[in-house]
Structure 1
């Protein structure tokens, strides 16, 4: 039964589905899909979003529904297109619709502070503006007389267009409040409130010359113009330095000329300022930014400016896929292969997939760009689902930099003498080959990037006599030694421990610290090259709001000779004076128990190698490894993406991993290991019986087994996999499982991760 006086409301809670409420007579007409409403839930009042009017077809009306308490918006905060997209995400990823809507809206609009009436507000400032023109000197003399400061203030306002912020007049220009109030009292000016955008990227931008497109770029641009049909997806595979960003700019310029808008997704916040600079140089104030590094007020203002049509291009990491732009013409996903596009918590959406679906729903172009596309995207292009475009050469005419694999196992006497092992029993930080190459760059006044995807000083602390390794009390992982903090740190839960003075197992001496992290590389570089300027960029050095911007700008100004860091420096950055890239240890991550380990390693190496030789001088890449014959490393050294993809696709065929089959990872967790094991075994067997009873073909259940990291934040973790030949079949099984068995027991959780990026 449906009724004009009933609606379905999504609230940001863990249960699937929506809640039905009656609409009081006084609110009829004010309640429409997409507006926020206050509703009773249990013993409290929370904020939700109206999903639809009337009752769902599958819901029977209860004898008496509770009433809505109030409507918070005059018009929907989620328009019809974004509401449809949110419903699809909730259905596909088996997530609560309220959780999806909370991710789509600025912080505070749904749940949390908003439920207590403390939603974000527009920022205003007091402005003094002229009310009456004084056209003659005689008129001014008669009005102001001896009040010279009032006359100066009046004429200052005239010179700046008739109005100015009161704060600027009093703080910067030195006019007193009495002078300001004097103008108001004479009725020649008034004070009004004016809204102010909190835009941290506002201000002047450096002009960027418009270069003529290369023939290859012209071909890609022409193809994209021809493909500009509703819902089309194109994959642009362009080598690093081939000018993909110029193509993005052209696509968006064409959309703006047609009165449409665009979204550009980038994988790292660190890349946002560089992208914003280039986009604002082309499009000016039409560009705004959405990302979690901004304050709540800044994000709210950016969101509102897009919603109102004052800004037409949104840039940001994965959550920017929800940008409320009007008349969307194109969505661009830069570095589309990046795992950071996958949300790790509910809703566990992948921004690339959401971008493709949003383009389909709103009838716009979706352009995926990467030098190393995800194998799922490559397979879609290879089989014709996506249109493949390629840029095989750099715009500078320079070839891709040569990559040399330096075998750390082949330690000659000269190597050992040049660089002793790190710590006692640790790995060498620098081969003589890499050390000498850095020295040459310093002599030439050229820049170097050093890459190691492991932060901290040493990977673990080990007792030499008994072999005990210090581990996290809450997680089944080793603790990392951070030298500057003088602490052992868990990189999963963030817990810390003091440095041990003795071994608690055998009462042996203080531990030795083994393995290499970015902090140790920084120290060793400083010892080898004391005159060099060094900057480190990882999570430990970019905790403050604009730290990553300051580091990259210093490097751009050539105030830094050597930039070292983790994966945040491996992609998208364009520094023309970098002629050497050194990879300290390419084996990090290569042997993780995850089916994407080789793909991730290849992509990281190819991306970081692409930072070298982007200017007029040729570049060089040195990759230190103990496994130089591994296919991912040899393919990266040859810049052979197609060869790697062909080998990797073949390797995934028999075990049936994506993109050959659809995959879901289901994780059961809890604080009692025995209960977790029992629940995982029972749920996996229940799922097998469901598949058998419903005679579902092309689907299988594997497991359960302990997760590779079997304890995380004091919770034990077991998982099982569901593989399927068809996406629809997998979705049906997952939704039925979540609805019937989504709460496995008190203190236990079931996490459903569809299309997982990792199985750890």
Structure 2
């Protein structure tokens, strides 16, 4: 059989350091086939004798399944047996992955309960086409010539299913997977710099002057825009031999740094320390300093001949970071962005990073599995941000990038991974995580903080708050602006006493109870399912004035507009009006991106009570509110002595961590153990019957299952949450995947049960 190699890109280059030694290649390879709609396990294929010396872990190959050639990645080897096995048909070296990256994908698949082939696809070039085949040896009656690229659908239409299989088996048609190709665009190049432009042809002169400064030419579209000229002027220059037009691939979005590196000295010692030792590190500092510190890490990595991967939660932040690195890093280094909106250019950046042509790759969570030729450092910016984790239906791995980043640093020769944030996640900060710490850089300024005790009052907005707003509008700081941050949870609110601030808690696990019915005030626990019935009066002081925690944006906006007599703007994900006004109400994600003279949090209690993780999230929001204020922060609460509130308003992260970590340890929450949240959709009876009769009995030792509870925010009562706990991540992931599969089988039986897995959720 001939060796048909897919017509792809150049040879694979091994990683610079930490590369695994070449494995002893055995006659049978385990291949994970990259079929998007199928969660297939790896299959065994015989390696043809002429390919035995070339096949290694990570090699992209073409292997048959049901008679058709499919793209797959070699993930392991096994001893030859007497089984009849199909043979690998061809190699696709240009799509091969480093062996260490395959190990990382296998780890990620286990940690996220995803099929291995789904994770491997994330590591390959985006936009990879797996539906095209190349005609190699056409039959006389075929309508295609040798070398033609034809879709599988068209081939099947002409040849029929069996005819296509026979043609592939005979090697007359070759499966040709390929990444998207950059389109060719027109470039203009100066041919005759001495050409004298007519005196009246100012547009032609502008075009020629622009080209003279660029020996290699300029893209035509950009040239015409810069010279404010039309194509007619350019055509005249071409006809006269002054300029030539040629086709080139569209330029890669790789930029070059232009700085001196002089502003990075104060961070150099920490950067060198992290890279010299490797492993995972926390570097606490104000967000404003994180970019320069990450640039210092990148510069140290470049000096060692290594690449740096920088991960940031938002696409907008990617472009801002690229601009900052261009300014901060010494001139001549290459920086590229990588995110879901790059289009075809993203595959080209993927290739450049794989070949070592990019010194610093800045991307969102989708970049965490991009292969690097010389991996040296990973920087994770704004580490606690939940956007670092892919939500269901969105691109990326559905676990926080901190997990594969730490695994990658360990697998790829102990490269350094540095997490930047003034308030890192507790699961990362806990001693049990094994993450090292660089000396923290504390904020050198902190705003004045006022706490308004709302116990005993029924008002939503205190006179103190309104007076502070008026004072800022009339006599405040530079812009006289007030930002009002409302934590609009929308579900799982708690119940508190308006008189003394008492909060109802679960008697079984001490979590604040969730308010299920705002009229009857029925309470239940989101964690263990305990139902406490309805609350009528406070058990602490006897008051019947019971309030739901949390104020809605519209209610606060209307109250402020009425009391202050000014137009109040709004800034949320769904609504943006009057954002340039003197008073703006909105959710934290939008409001805390700006600076304000006065930052107001009218209901801090909604930040302190709720699911596991609510207090940590509340601390971050209050800390960020202080960072966003130029002058003063004002907080309303019925819990003024709460330790989270006090620590946040002092900017004391260590005090907050010291008080919260023992609680996580006692509950067995990450990093002390691992959780799998399984969302089941179906009737209450179906869910409970399935859990007790089919799911709970299959769990192995060391995996605990809590009873199903209504999913917060599900108003129709058809979504239920089942929580699994274990100290072993692998055992938990296997159990979660098994539970989801059995639930899917139940669905197929007609009872309407669907399942979704969320490994180690950020908030429970």
**Superposed pair shares fold, TM > 0.5:** yes
SS in 1 for 2:606: coil
Aligned counterparts of 2:589 and 2:81: Cα–Cα separation in 1: 51
SS in 1 for 2:344: helix
Q: Please tell me whether the aligned partners of residues 129 and 178 of structure 2 are also in contact (alpha carbons under 8 angstroms).
A: no
Aligned counterpart for 1:18 among listed residues 23, 34, 42 = 42
Residue 451, structure 1, aligned to residue 485, structure 2 = yes
- What displacement does 1:126 show? 0.7
SS in 2 for 1:267: coil
- In structure 1, the residue matched to 2:427 is 376
Residue 603, structure 1, aligned to residue 606, structure 2 = no
- In structure 1, the residue matched to 2:696 is 685
SS in 2 for 1:722: strand
- In structure 1, the residue matched to 2:588 is 567
- What displacement does 1:274 show? 4.1
- What displacement does 1:266 show? 2.4
- In structure 2, the residue matched to 1:290 is 338
SS in 2 for 1:622: strand
Aligned counterpart for 2:466 among listed residues 432, 435, 440 = 432
Match runs of 1:176-575 below 5 Å:
190-197=244-251, 199=253, 218=266, 221-229=268-276, 231-238=278-285, 240=286, 243-283=289-329, 286-292=334-340, 294-345=341-392, 347-362=397-412, 363-380=414-431, 385-391=434-440, 393-394=442-443, 397-398=444-445, 400-411=446-457, 431-439=465-473, 442=476, 444-454=478-488, 516-518=551-553, 521=556, 536-540=570-574, 564-569=585-590, 573=593, 575=595
Aligned counterparts of 2:564 and 2:51: Cα–Cα separation in 1: 71
CA offsets per residue over residues 676-720 of structure 1, 9 Å max, x none? 3222223442244x32xxxxxxx2413221243384899533413
SS in 1 for 2:724: strand
CA offsets per residue over residues 449-499 of structure 1, 9 Å max, x none? 33223289xx9xxxxxxxxxxxxxxxx9999xxxxxxxxxxxxxxxxxxxx
- In structure 2, the residue matched to 1:723 is 726
Aligned counterparts of 2:374 and 2:464: Cα–Cα separation in 1: 53
Q: Please tell me whether the aligned partners of residues 489 and 550 of structure 2 are also in contact (alpha carbons under 8 angstroms).
A: no
- What displacement does 1:223 show? 4.3
TM-score for the superposition, normalised by structure 2: 0.69
- What displacement does 1:281 show? 1.4
Aligned counterpart for 2:629 among listed residues 612, 621, 628 = 612
CA offsets per residue over residues 2-35 of structure 1, 9 Å max, x none? 5378844243345252245678999999987656
CA RMSD across the alignment = 4.9
* Bigger mean CA offset, 86-95 vs 735-744: 735-744
Aligned counterparts of 1:25 and 1:182: Cα–Cα separation in 2: 61
Relative to structure 1, the CA distance from residue 149 to residue 370 in structure 2 (aligned partners, 3 Å threshold; closer, same or farther) is: closer
Residue 3, structure 1, aligned to residue 18, structure 2 = no
Aligned counterparts of 2:205 and 2:607: Cα–Cα separation in 1: 70
- What displacement does 1:665 show? 2.2
Relative to structure 1, the CA distance from residue 700 to residue 569 in structure 2 (aligned partners, 3 Å threshold; closer, same or farther) is: same
CA offsets per residue over residues 64-91 of structure 1, 9 Å max, x none? 54876x87x5512643333221121012
Aligned counterpart for 2:215 among listed residues 131, 152, 161 = 161
Relative to structure 1, the CA distance from residue 729 to residue 401 in structure 2 (aligned partners, 3 Å threshold; closer, same or farther) is: same
- What displacement does 1:355 show? 0.9
Residue 83, structure 1, aligned to residue 102, structure 2 = yes
- In structure 2, the residue matched to 1:464 is none
Q: Please tell me whether the aligned partners of residues 13 and 96 of structure 1 are also in contact (alpha carbons under 8 angstroms).
A: no
Gaps of 5+ in 1: 422-426, 460-475, 480-512, 543-550, 614-618, 692-698
SS in 2 for 1:595: coil
- In structure 2, the residue matched to 1:545 is none
Aligned counterparts of 2:680 and 2:571: Cα–Cα separation in 1: 34
Aligned counterparts of 1:667 and 1:319: Cα–Cα separation in 2: 24
Q: Please tell me whether the aligned partners of residues 326 and 335 of structure 2 are also in contact (alpha carbons under 8 angstroms).
A: yes
Relative to structure 1, the CA distance from residue 584 to residue 320 in structure 2 (aligned partners, 3 Å threshold; closer, same or farther) is: farther
- What displacement does 1:158 show? 3.4
Aligned counterparts of 1:51 and 1:519: Cα–Cα separation in 2: 56
Alignment: residue pair count: 640
Aligned counterparts of 1:286 and 1:270: Cα–Cα separation in 2: 20
Residue 636, structure 1, aligned to residue 687, structure 2 = no
SS in 1 for 2:94: coil
Aligned counterparts of 1:162 and 1:375: Cα–Cα separation in 2: 52
- In structure 2, the residue matched to 1:128 is 188
CA offsets per residue over residues 511-547 of structure 1, 9 Å max, x none? xx99744455556666667778x765432258xxxxx
Aligned counterparts of 1:112 and 1:428: Cα–Cα separation in 2: 64
Aligned counterparts of 1:635 and 1:5: Cα–Cα separation in 2: 56
Aligned counterparts of 1:440 and 1:210: Cα–Cα separation in 2: 42
Relative to structure 1, the CA distance from residue 7 to residue 392 in structure 2 (aligned partners, 3 Å threshold; closer, same or farther) is: closer
Q: Please tell me whether the aligned partners of residues 263 and 315 of structure 1 are also in contact (alpha carbons under 8 angstroms).
A: yes
- What displacement does 1:735 show? 6.5
Aligned counterparts of 1:172 and 1:223: Cα–Cα separation in 2: 43
SS in 2 for 1:756: coil
Match runs of 1:77-116 below 5 Å:
78-105=97-124, 107-109=126-128
